[in-house]
Amino acid sequence: MKRSSNPRPTNPAGPPDQVSERLVLRCQLGDLDAIDELVERWHTPLWRYVLAVTGDPDHGEEILQDAWLRILRSLDRLEDPQRLRAWIFTIVRRTFLDHLRTRYRTPDHAPLDDRADLASEEPAFSWEETADLHRALLALAPIDRDAVTLFYLQGLDLREVSEVLSVPAGTVKSRLHRARRTLRSNLEPTTNSRS
């Protein structure tokens, strides 16, 4: 796809933005440049989400490519452009789950716990602390890791996370609470051993 030379923000976390809403409308009207802009705008946040839930860059790339095909094929059916963020993450999550089902149907799949450490593009901590955090995230139950990634790392609100995961907001809160408790207990021994 042709990339536009105009600089655009690549982290649309937060409230739904009008730029993405306009891009959706332009895409639905057949504007090919808008498709490129939409992919450019959302690729990085979706890539970070896929990498966080899979822990595997190669598998993550395959999932994201498949998800983009699904997103672009069904974009004309998105009736409310303000719901783009929740809608797009829902498609990526469903694509991940489809890949996971396919992967576990074959007998020679790799266990979830044997995945490579994640590498952050812009670490907020030291590399050692970041690696510990990624290991702790991968140690979470997949449903908890999904909620944490969407809420804390992608900035979706409770309603949006609830929509993406197809569970009530109260369930999302429970998963986040359980995940925070587990992360805290998994990270405290590491933090204390370095002090």
Question: How many CA atoms are closer than 13 Å to the CA of 44, on its beta-carbon side?
Answer: 12
The dotted CATH code for 18-194 is 1.20.140.160
What is residue 100's predicted lDDT score, i.e. its pLDDT?
Answer: 79
The answer on pLDDT for 114 being more than 50 is no
What is residue 127's predicted lDDT score, i.e. its pLDDT?
Answer: 53
Task: Give the whole-angstrom CA distance, residue 55 versus residue 49.
Answer: 10
pLDDT tens digit sequence for 139-185: 888 888 889 888 888 888 899 999 999 999 899 999 999 988 888 88
- DSSP string for 147-189: HHIIIIIS---HHHHHHHHTS-HHHHHHHHHHHHHHHHHHHHH
Mean local confidence (pLDDT), 106-116? 41
Mean local confidence (pLDDT), 81-86? 91
The answer on pLDDT for 91 being more than 50 is yes
- DSSP string for 79-98: --GGGHHHHHHHHHHHHHHH
The answer on pLDDT for 78 being more than 70 is yes
What is residue 185's predicted lDDT score, i.e. its pLDDT?
Answer: 84
What is residue 9's predicted lDDT score, i.e. its pLDDT?
Answer: 40
What is residue 129's predicted lDDT score, i.e. its pLDDT?
Answer: 63
Instruction: Write down the mean pLDDT value for the chain.
Output: 78
Task: Give the whole-angstrom CA distance, residue 195 versus residue 134.
Answer: 20
Question: pTM for the whole thing?
Answer: 0.61
How far is the CA of 129 from the CAs of 27, 53, 144, 151, 158, in angstroms?
A: 41, 19, 21, 21, 27
Residue 4 zone, left/alpha/beta (φ > 0; ψ -120 to 50; rest): beta
Of all residues in the chain, the percent with pLDDT exceeding 70 is: 74
pLDDT tens digit sequence for 31-50: 999 999 999 999 999 999 99
Domain ranges of the chain: 18-194
Task: Give the whole-angstrom CA distance, residue 178 versus residue 107.
Answer: 31
Confidence of residue 65 (pLDDT cuts 50, 70, 90): very high
The answer on pLDDT for 123 being more than 50 is no
